[in-house]
Amino acid sequence: MGRVDGELPHASLVVKGVCFWFIPPPSWIEGPCVIPEVRGRKVPGCSVWIPPLSVMQPMLPPGIQLTDTLEQMQQGTLMRKVKSKSWKKQRYFKLQEDCMTIWYQSKRTGKTESAFSISDVETVREGHQSEVLQSVAEEFPPERCFTIVFYGRRGNLDLIAGSAEEAQCWVQGLRQLIEVATTMDQREKIDQWIRDWFQKADKNKDGRMTFKEVQRLLKMMNVDMNEDHALRLFQDADKSESGTLEGEEFVLFYKALTQREEVLSLFQEFSEDGKKLTLLELVDFLREEQLEDEGTEELAMELIDKYEPSETARARHVLSADGFLMYLCSVEGSIFNPQHRVLCQDMSQPLCHYFISSSHNTYLIEDQIRGHSSIEGYIRALKRGCRCLEVDCWDGPNGEPMVYHGHTFTSKIPFREVVNTLGKYAFKTSDYPVILSLENHCSMEQQDVLAQQLKDILGEQLLTTTIDGHVPTQLPSPEELKHKILLKAKKIGRLEDTLDGPGDEAPDVSDEDNGAEAEEERRRAKKDKETLAQALSDCVVYCKNVPFQGFQVARSHSRPSEISSLSEAKARKLIRDEGNEFVRHNAWQLTRIYPSGMRTDSSNYSPQEMWNVGCQIVALNFQTAGMEMDLCDGLFSQNGCSGYVLKPPFMRDKETLFNPNDPSSWEGPGPITLTIQVISGQQLPKVANSKEGAIIDPLVRVEVYGVPADQAHQETKYIENNGFNPRWDETLQFQLHVPELALIRFVVEDYDKTSRNDFVGQFTLAFANIKPGYRHIHLLSKDGTSISPSSLFVHICITEPPGPEQD
C-alpha cells in the first residue's frame, strides 16, 4: 500500500514487504504519526498508524464517558437475582473496565457464575415489569426492582437492588451503555471486538500476551495455524523483542492476521495507481459492479464522506483501500437493499392483499405440554413486528379469565395481564393494526369479563365498529386501521345485523339454495347466542371466525369480513387440489393457517407453501428457532418491519389464473438466473458446546424457497480448520420462475463427516430485496440476532430472461 499524496493510509501497514490491512477507530486518527520507532527501538521497513493509547489497556470504547454512575458499577454491587417467588439469591454484579462486559458471582462460593456483553442487552425495564418481579411485589418495592432483557430467546435477568439509588445507578448506567453499543459504527465495533478477544486470551490479566496465550487466542478465534507460521507472525509483531505482545504490538499481529486479499485485489482492479480510488474510479465501480445507475456521483461522494477515515483523502474526494473496505462492510455494501429496510410499500390496499406476520400460541415460550406461559411471549412477538397474536382463554379463579394451553400442564397467566401488555407494546415496532386471535373456552359470565377488560384497558385502540359505519364490500387497509386492535373471534349473526339497516352483504333468499343457506345461518346464530356473550360478540368487526365450507360457499356469501382458520394439513390438501381457487379466495378474504396439534414440541411447518397461495395469516411458533422462523424473519424484515408485506399483483386479482403448482399459469418471459459467487467468510463463530480447541470446517449452503419449481439448494465445499477467514471462491446458480415469491437463505455449517453438520450462522431475505454486485452478508444466530462481525463476502449477478424479439 502506498500513500495518498504523501499521507499514509490509515488502515494499512507494511512489514517485510508484505501489505496488511486494518481498520482503526476514529480516536486513532487525530494526526499523522508515522512511526520511526516503537518503544525506543527502530522498526526496519515498517510504516504504520499506531493508536496514541494501547487498545488493550483499560481504555473506554468511543462514545463512553466514565461517569460517577459507571464508576460505581465498576466497583460492584450486591443484588438479589430472582427466578421465582421462592428463588432469590444474592449475587455480586460488576461492570468490567472495558465498560462493555458485566460479570456476576455467587456471594456464597465467590465463583464467577456468568458474564454477558452489553451488546447482548436489548433494554432495561424498571419496576415490576416481569411476571417474576410481580410475584414478589408485596415484598420488594418497584423502585428497587429492574429487569435486564436480552436479544433473541435468552431469558430475562430479574434483579432487586439494596436501595432505590443502587437500582437507578444500574438502570441509568446500563441504558447509557446500551445506547453506545447500538450506535457504534463498523470501525468502533471491530475495535471493540479486538479488545474483547485480547481480554479473553490474556489469562493472567497482565496486559501482555505470550506466544502460548496467542496460540490459545487463535484456537478461540477459529484459526488453525501452522505453529511455525504463527510464531513468525508473533515475532514480526514483537518489535520490542520482549517475547510478549503489548499494546500496539498485538494490533500489528491482529492486522497481519486479518488481511483481506480478495478485497485488496478488487480495489486495485479499479484503482489506476493501486493506492486510491478517485471519485470517477469509484463511480465506475458503483456502476459496473454494484449496478447503481441513479445519482451515482452523489452516492460516491456520500460514501467517501461517510467511510473514508482520512480527512485529507475526504477533502480530495478519493477513497483509500481501508475506506473501500469500510464501505463494503457497511449497510450500503450489504446484500439487503437499504431502501427496502424502511416503509416503502403501498399501505392503502385491503388487508387481504398483504402477508401478515403471525404468531401461534403466543403466550408460550417453551413447548405446548409443560411449557411456561408468559406475557414475555407477547412482548417478544410484538417487538419482532408480529401483527397477529393468539390468546387461549379459559375460566379462571375469582371470575378472572386465564390464558394457557388447555388440557396440558402449561402455566397460566391472567387475561388482564395479556391485554395490558398488548396495550403497552402493540405499536412500539409498527403503527399498523394488530389482530388478536381469540380462542374462547370461557363461560358466558367470564366472556363478559373478557369483553369488559378489552374495552376498559384498550379503550380507543380496540376497533368496535366499521371505519365508516357501513357494511364493507372489501376489507379496510392497514393505513386506515393504524393504531387499531382487531378482535378475531366468533360473532353472533352477521356484521350487517349490528349496523343500521340491511347492508350490501344481506343474502338473497329468492331461490331454494340461498333460502336453505339463510336458514342454516339463522340456526347457527341461535346456537351462538346460547354459548357466546353478546358483549364479546360486539367486539368482533372485520375478523369474524367462520368454519371453512369450501371456496364456492365463501364466494357465494361474499363477506370479506369473515375469516376461516385451517390446519396445515387441510391447507396442504387445498393447495394440492384447488391451488388456483385458493389464490383467488385469498385475494378478497383473509385465511389463517395454524400448526398441527401433533406438534407438541412447538415445532413449525414451512410457511412458504402457504404464502405461495396467498394465505395472509400464517401462524408460527415464534418461540422455536429454525429454518421456518428464519423464512418468517426474512420475509418481514422488509417494509420497515411493519409486519405487513404487499403480495405480488397476480395474487391480488380475484380472477387470477395463478397456481403455484402449475407452471403454465405463470406469466412472464421465463426464469430469472441468480448467480452467487461465494468468495470468503470473516470471523465465523465457534459452534455452541463444541470441544475446547475445536475449529470449524465451514461450508456455505444457499437455499431457495418459493413455488415448487423454484425450491433448490446448493453448497460449497468445506474448508478445513478455518472459521476465521475461509476462502471458497465457488459459484452457485439458480433459476427462479416466480421470483416475486422467492426467499433466499444463506446458511453456514460446520461440516461433520460422521454426523449431521452443526449450524454456525444464517441470513435470509426475499429475492426482491437483494442488491447485486460485491456484497457482505452479515450473519445471524439461530435466534435471529446479530453475531457481528461474522459475515460472508459474495458477488451477486441477476440475469433477466431475454424479452420478445421486436419486428
Spatial distance between the Cα atoms of 275 and 281, rounded to a whole number of angstroms: 12
Q: Which ranges of 127-220 does DSSP label H, i.e. alpha helix? A: 131-135, 164-183, 186-201, 211-220
289, 267 Cβ separation under 8 angstroms: no
Cβ atoms of 686 and 696 closer than 8 Å: yes
Question: By the 8 A CB rule, do 337 and 93 touch?
Answer: no
Distance CA 455, CA 459 (A): 5
Candidates 405, 557, 585, 778; catalytic one: 405
Give, for 523, the enclosing helix (H) or strand (E): helix 512-531
What is the per-residue burial (b if ≥16 Cβ within 10 Å, else e) of 193-212?
ebbebbbebbeeeebbbbbe
Distance between CA atoms of residues 235 and 242, nearest Å: 10
Q: Which of 360, 557, 737, 776 is catalytic?
A: 360
**Cell numbers placing 305:** 464522506
Q: Which residue from 381, 384, 388 is spatially nearest to 352, judged by alpha carbons? A: 388
Residue 270, classed as helix, strand or coil, is helix
- The answer to whether 405 is a known catalytic residue is yes
Q: How far apart are CA 503 and CA 510, in angstroms?
A: 17
Closest CA to 154 of 123, 125, 120, 131: 120
- For residues 29 and 35, is the Cβ–Cβ distance under 8 A? no
Residue 189 CB neighbour total at 10 angstroms:
19
Question: Looking up cell 471519485, which residue turns up?
Answer: 279
State the cell numbers at 420. Answer: 395490558
Q: Which amino acid is at 18?
A: V
Q: Is 483 a catalytic residue?
A: no
Distances (CA, A) of 136 to 140, 282, 419: 6, 61, 21
Most distant CA atoms of the chain, gap in Å:
103
In this structure, the strands spanning 145-150 and 121-126 are antiparallel
Quick one: how far is CA 335 from the chain centroid? 15
Beta bridge partners of 38: 41
Q: Kindly list the catalytic residues.
A: 360, 405
